[in-house]
A and B are shown apart, each in its own frame.
Chain A
């Protein structure tokens, strides 16, 4: 069935190292959204990408939307302990149904 796949499932890094999570959809998406969920918290919206090949930056975070609008990535430069959490991508595979990837759980060794 239609789904959004995200890898890796877990990532442990040393503070200061970079981190990347990848998202792939089985279908072309009208947009891709990224969320962050801190341990014990709820998902918080980070950004939405709409255009083919779009790249957006938020401080140390860089988000990309693939040319075919079926894949996306989130890259964090020089991780900090505040980056700990689970990062989810999400896309509207079907109208009015936002489907989330399984998430990448990031842990950081200070």
Chain B
């Protein structure tokens, strides 16, 4: 059974640019959550999608957005990048949402210069 696939693995962008990250969940999992991980802040919740609907979102500015497609694949977008957006972005899929364990992808390491 294939795991959670995130692309790209690494990304270097310049301040002011925008970026799109992709996540393919485990087959059959309809819940996809996104997290930002930084050394100082730990794992911060960005948003959760289920069947193309955003069910919850974290305390991030509107520059952070996401969506989910009918095949459960998800994308997140960050516009007008800032240096502080440099982080590991992790996607997690789950069959049961918060009622079950999450399977994380390897993440996308974003560096903003």
Q: Which residues of A contact B (CB under 8 A)?
A: 30-31, 33, 35, 41-45, 47-48, 88, 90, 92, 94-103
What is the 8 Å Cβ interface bit string for chain B, positions 28-43, against chain A (1 contact, 0 not)?
A: 0001010100000011
Complex interface: chain A residues within 8 A of B45 (CB): 97-100
Q: Which residue of A lies closest to B57 (CB)?
A: A97
A56 to B14, CA, bound (A): 47
Given A42-B90, A100-B43, CB of A95 within 8 Å of CB of B105: no
B55 at the interface (CB under 8 A from A): yes
Chain B contact-residue range equals 20 to 34
Q: Which residue of B lies closest to A42 (CB)?
A: B104
A-side binding surface: helix, strand, loop or mixed?
strand
A92 to B99, CA, bound (A): 8
Complex interface: chain A residues within 8 A of B104 (CB): 42-45
Complex contact A88–B43 (CB within 8 A):
yes
Q: How far is the CB of B3 from chain A (nearest CB, A)?
A: 10
Q: Which residue of A lies closest to B55 (CB)?
A: A96
Interface centre among B45, B48, B98, B104 (most CB of A within 10 A): B98
Complex interface: chain A residues within 8 A of B33 (CB): 98
Complex contact B99–A30 (CB within 8 A):
yes
Q: How far is the CB of A13 from chain B (nearest CB, A)?
A: 22
Complex contact A31–B99 (CB within 8 A):
yes
B106 partner, pick from A42, A47, A99, beta carbons under 8 A: A42
Docked complex: B81-113 residues within 8 A CB-CB of A:
90, 92, 97-107
A-B residue pairs, 6 tightest by C-beta: A92-B98, A45-B101, A100-B43, A96-B55, A97-B56, A96-B56
Complex interface: chain B residues within 8 A of A42 (CB): 90, 104-107
Complex interface: chain B residues within 8 A of A101 (CB): 42
Complex interface: chain A residues within 8 A of B58 (CB): 97
